[in-house]
């Protein structure tokens, strides 16, 4: 797969509009899967620049990742064409662009879906802020499809800047990005260079949580709250659990001054340990999604993401509804109520709660697996 084939999302601006561009060629990687209707991908989102690119090269050397693309690239981890849950990598540098591209593509390119940001037309003043737009794309569009979000602190201005960013996601009342169960929301990993030996992950995470809580309080106060109404600690913990499936601070292995063979081997082990940690965290969230029956197949992943792009372009306030999206091509018929009534007349009263109601709910949500009737 060439570098251009992986281009997935970018921003385009002309004198009148800003567009979110969805490049269909990126979905070619899903065509490599042997069982796209059965395999349920888990997507790891990596946000950064130089440190992020170096990490991808060490974690997945065969991907040959190049940085400075200022867009979002979609990649398939090697050896994942047959596994039940393939690993997708969303390589995110959209935030690094000063302005949306004005020359990358035009509305005449057939392999690109141009989604005009209708809501941006109402708030646009001096021009588009690509950085702010990028983080809206990450929070609103990408997070519902991600199991892990890796934020590279050294690329984003340090842990203080990351805390500021996450606080804005937490306090913004419109942050909720979808109607997926809270238990399935992605886990946040903040990755930073730290050459202290040994690195204390628990201590670093607690320190960051305090920093994040303080940023959240400041933002809460700036929204018009009185000082005595600032966000208390227990409310912050609840808020954190509501939007993130966990949060940890991890350190990136130090590549500098490694010369001895024993040091090289130790460094490789550290990178492998970090890779295992990320994959394990992703798998835990994916297991939660399977339990909640929202671990979508590759075919459904593609369809839902396209619909999510359309939703994002028109509305960043209302959460994207996977349930409503699944019904767009299969609307409930107007006489559905009469069908339900007729169906219930054929069911024994004792089976209404245990069979009929779950069956009807399953038919409405198109999940195919009402409780007690799983085929697997």
Span 4-50, pLDDT tens digits: 458 999 998 887 788 999 999 999 999 999 999 999 999 999 999 99
| Distance between CA atoms of residues 61 and 43, nearest Å | 18
Are 193 and 311 found together in one domain?
Answer: yes
Those residues with Cβ within 8 angstroms of residue 216's Cβ, 6 or more apart along the chain or in another chain: 167, 170, 171, 231, 236, 239
Q: What is the pLDDT of residue 62?
A: 81
Which residues of the chain carry a pLDDT beneath 70? 1-5, 101-109, 123-128, 172-175, 195-196, 221-235, 255-262, 329-332, 363-376
Is residue 199 domain-shared with residue 181, that is, in the same domain?
yes
- 169: domain range? 4-326
Whether 299 and 163 share a structural domain: yes
pLDDT on residue 175: 61
- What confidence score (pLDDT) does residue 366 get? 56
| Other beta carbons less than 10 A from residue 67's beta carbon | 18
Residues 170 and 271 in one domain: yes
Q: Check if the beta carbon of residue 144 is closer than 8 Å to that of residue 308.
A: yes
CA dist 302 → 73, 93, 229, 344 (Å): 15, 21, 43, 36
Provide the domain count of the chain: 2
Q: What is the CATH number of the domain that holds 245?
A: 3.40.50
Same domain, 141 and 228: yes
Q: Same structural domain for residues 349 and 287? A: no
What's the rounded Cα separation, in Å, for the pair 278 and 273? 9
Classify residue 36 by its DSSP letter: T
Residue 90 makes CB contacts below 8 A (sequence gap 6+) with: 8, 43, 44, 45, 46, 72, 73, 74, 75, 142, 146
Residues 360 and 266 in one domain: no
Give the pLDDT confidence score for residue 344 in this predicted structure: 83
Q: 373 and 258: one domain? A: no
Residue 4's pLDDT is 45
Taking only the tens place, the pLDDT of each residue in 131-190 is: 889 999 999 999 999 999 999 999 999 999 999 999 888 876 556 789 999 999 999 999
Answer whether 169's CB lies under 8 Å from 142's CB.
no
Task: Report residue 108 as tokens.
Answer: 């005449």
**pLDDT averaged over every residue in the chain:** 83
Verify that 102 and 136 share a domain, yes or no: yes
Cα(290)–Cα(42) distance, rounded to whole angstroms? 11
Same domain, 192 and 246: yes
Position 224 scores a pLDDT of 55
Which pLDDT score is estimated for 375?
Answer: 36
Global pTM reads 0.84
Asked if 69 and 202 sit in the same domain, the reply is yes
| Max intra-chain CA distance, the chain | 78
Q: Do 340 and 359 fall within a single domain? A: yes
């Amino acid at each position: 797969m060439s570098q251009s084939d992986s281009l997935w999302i970018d921003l385009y601006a002309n004198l009148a509009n800003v567009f979110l561009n969805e490049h269909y060629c990126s979905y070619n990687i899903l065509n490599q899967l042997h069982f796209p209707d059965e395999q349920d991908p888990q997507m790891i989102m990596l946000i950064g620049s130089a440190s992020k690119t170096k990490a991808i090269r060490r974690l997945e050397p065969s991907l040959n990742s190049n940085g400075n693309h200022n867009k979002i690239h979609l990649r398939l981890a090697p050896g994942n064409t047959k596994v039940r849950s393939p690993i997708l990598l969303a390589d995110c540098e959209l935030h690094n662009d000063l302005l949306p591209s004005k020359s990358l593509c035009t509305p005449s390119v057939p392999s690109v879906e141009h989604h005009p940001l209708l809501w941006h037309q109402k708030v646009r003043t001096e021009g588009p802020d690509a950085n702010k737009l990028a983080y809206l794309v990450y929070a609103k569009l990408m997070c519902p499809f991600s199991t892990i979000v890796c934020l590279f602190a050294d690329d984003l201005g340090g842990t203080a800047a990351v805390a500021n960013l996450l606080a804005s996601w937490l306090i913004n009342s419109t942050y909720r990005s979808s109607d997926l169960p809270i238990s399935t929301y992605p886990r946040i990993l903040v990755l930073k260079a730290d050459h202290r030996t040994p690195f204390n992950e628990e201590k670093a995470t607690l320190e960051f949580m305090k920093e994040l809580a303080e940023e959240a309080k400041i933002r809460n106060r700036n929204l018009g709250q009185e000082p005595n109404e600032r966000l208390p600690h227990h409310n912050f913990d609840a808020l954190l659990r509501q939007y993130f499936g966990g949060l940890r601070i991890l350190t990136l292995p130090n590549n500098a001054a490694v010369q001895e063979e024993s040091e090289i081997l130790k460094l490789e082990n550290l990178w492998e340990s970090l890779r295992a940690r990320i994959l394990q965290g992703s798998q835990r969230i994916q297991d939660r999604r399977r339990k909640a029956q929202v671990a979508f197949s590759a075919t459904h992943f593609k369809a839902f993401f396209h619909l999510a792009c359309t939703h994002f372009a028109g509305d960043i306030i209302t959460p994207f509804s996977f349930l409503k999206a699944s019904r767009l091509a299969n609307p409930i018929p107007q006489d559905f109520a009469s069908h339900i009534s007729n169906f219930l007349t054929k069911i024994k009263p004792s089976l209404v709660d245990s069979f009929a109601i779950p069956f009807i709910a399953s038919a409405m949500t198109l999940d195919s697996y009402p409780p007690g009737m799983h085929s697997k």
